[in-house]
Amino acid sequence: MGLFIARRIGKGVVVLLAIVVLNFFLIRLAPGDPALVMAGEAGAADEVFVAQLREKFALDQPLPRQLASYVRNIVGLDLGYSVRQQMPVATLIGDRLPATLLLTGTAFLISLALGVLFGALAARRAGSLADTAITGVALLFYATPLFWVSLMAIIVFSVRLDWLPSFGFETVGAGYAGLARAADIAHHLVLPAMTLGLFFMAVYVRMTRASMLEVMGLDFVKTARAKGLAEGVIQRRHVLRNALLPVVTLAGLQAGTLVGGAVLTETVFAWPGIGRLMYEALLQRDYNLLLGVFVVSSGMVLVFNLVTDVVYRVVDPRIEAAR
Amino acid sequence: MIRHVVTGCALVLALSGAAAAQAPRAGGVANAVIQPEPPGLMLGLLQNGPTQMVAGNIYEGLLRYDDALKPLPGLAESWSVSPDGRTYTFTLAKGVTWHDGKPFGADDVLFSIEFLKQNHARARGNMAKVASVTAPDSGTVVFTLSEPFGPFLGVFEVGSLPMIPRHLYEGTDPKTNPANNSPVGTGPYMFKEWKKGSYIRLVRNPRYHVAGKPYLDEIYWHVIPDAAARAVAFETGKVDILPGGSVENFDVPRLSKLKGACVTGKGWEFFGPHSWLWLNNRKGPTASKAFRQAVSYAIDRDFARDVVWNGLGKPATGPISSATRYHNAALAGYAYDPAKAKALLKQAGYKGETVRLLPLPYGETWQRWGEAVRQNLEDVGIRTELVATDVAGWNQKTADWDYDIAFTYLYQYGDPALGVARNYISSQITKGSPWNNVEGYANPAVDAAFAEGAAAVGDDRRQAIYDGVQKTLIEDAPVAWLLELQFPTITRCTVRDLVTTGIGVNDGFRDAWIER
Kindly report, residue by residue over B77-97, the tens digit of the pLDDT. 999 999 998 999 999 999 999
* pLDDT, tens digit, 9 for 90 and up, residues B226-257: 888 999 999 988 999 999 888 988 899 899 99
Q: What is the mean pLDDT of chain B?
A: 91
Q: Which CATH number fits domain B274-485: 3.10.105.10, 1.10.357.140, 1.10.240.10, 3.20.20.70?
A: 3.10.105.10
Whether B298 and B380 have beta carbons less than 8 Å apart is answered as yes
Size of interface A-B (CB pairs under 8 A): 168
Note whether A162 contacts B236, CB cutoff 8 Å: yes
For residues A54 and A84, what is the distance between their CA atoms, to the nearest angstrom?
A: 11
Q: Nearest CB to A172: which of B39, B198, B389?
A: B198
Choose, out of B234, B362, B395, the residue to mutate when testing the contact with A (most A CBs < 10 Å).
Answer: B395
Query: B259: burial class by Cβ within 10 Å (0-12, 13-18, 19+)?
Result: exposed
Contact A277, A92 (CB under 8 A): yes
* Cβ separation B39–A38 shorter than 8 A: yes
Question: What gap in Å lies between CA B115 and CA B163, rounded to an integer?
Answer: 10
* Of the partner residues A45, A48, A266, the one whose CB lies closest to the CB of residue B435: A45
Comparing CA positions, the residue from B352, B322, B57, B341 lying closest to residue B205 is: B57
Domain ranges of chain B: 274-485
Give me the residue from B31, B397, B432 closest to A47, CB to CB: B432
Q: Is A96-321 in CATH node 3.30.1360.70?
A: no
| The predicted structure's pLDDT at residue A236 | 81
| Greatest distance between any 2 Cα atoms in chain B | 70
Taking contacts as CB-CB distances below 8 angstroms, the residues of chain A near B225 are 266-267, 270, 276, 280
Helix (H) and strand (E) counts for chain B? 15, 21
pLDDT of B354 > 70? The answer is: yes
Contact criterion met (CB < 8 Å) for B122 and A42: yes
Phi, psi of B385 (to 5 degrees): -125, 125
- Report the C-alpha gap between B497 and B501 in whole angstroms: 10
Q: Give the orientation angle of helix A287-315 with respect to helix A63-75, to 10 degrees.
A: 40
Q: Report the mean per-residue pLDDT for chain A.
A: 84
Which residues in chain A have their CB less than 8 angstroms from residue B236's CB? 158-159, 162, 166
Contacts for A193 with CB less than 8 Å, ≥ 6 apart: A103, A106, A107, A110
What is the pLDDT, as a whole number, of residue A261? 64
Q: What is the mean pLDDT of residues B372-387?
A: 95
* Chain A residues lying within 8 Å of B485, measured CB to CB: none
* Substitution target from B172, B196, B485 for chain A, most A beta carbons within 10 A: B196
Q: What pLDDT is recorded for position B421?
A: 93
Residues of chain A with CATH 1.10.3720.10: 96-321
Q: Would the CB atoms of A42 and B47 count as touching at under 8 Å?
A: yes
Tally of CB atoms within 10 A around B307: 14
Distance linking the first and last C-alpha atoms of chain A: 11
Check: CB of residue B273 under 8 Å from CB of residue B409: yes
Q: How near does any CA of chain B get to the CA of A268, in Å?
A: 5
Cβ–Cβ below 8 Å for B396 and A32 = yes
pLDDT at B21: 52
The 10s digit of each residue's pLDDT in A269-304 is 989 988 888 888 888 888 888 889 888 888 888 888
ipTM: 0.82
Question: What distance in Å separates the CA atoms of residue A258 and residue B75, rounded to the nearest whole number?
Answer: 51
Quickly count: other Cβ atoms within 10 Å of residue A113's Cβ: 13
| Minimal C-alpha gap between A27 and chain B (Å) | 12
pLDDT of residue B107: 95
Which residue, B220, B225, B183, B246, is CA-closest to B504? B246
Quick check: bond before A246 cis, omega within 30?
no
Using 50 as the pLDDT threshold, list the residues of chain A that sit under it.
Answer: 323
pTM (predicted TM-score):
0.87
Nearest CA to B116 out of B147, B79, B156 is that of: B156
Q: How many CB atoms lie within 10 A of CB A229?
A: 15
The pLDDT value recorded for residue A45 is 65
- Is there a contact between A36 and B218 if contact means CB atoms under 8 Å apart? no
CB contact under 8 A, B222 and A167: yes
In tens, the pLDDT along B504-515 reads 999 999 999 999
- Return the residue of A nearest to B273 by Cα: A43
Which of B233, B393, B435 is the closest to A43 by Cβ? Answer: B435
Residue B76 has pLDDT above 60, yes or no: yes
Confidence (pLDDT) at A320: 61
CA angle B374/B377/B379 to nearest 5° reads 110
The per-residue pLDDT for B3 is 38
Q: What is the DSSP string of A129-194?
A: HHHHHHHHHHHHHHHS-HHHHHHHHIIIIIIIS--S--SSSS-TT----HHHHHHHHHHHHHHHHH
Q: Does residue A257 contact residue A100 with C-beta atoms inside 8 Å?
A: no
- pLDDT band, residue B294 (cuts 50/70/90): very high
Select the residue from A33, A38, A152, A172 to test the B interface by mutation, using most B Cβ atoms within 10 A.
Answer: A172
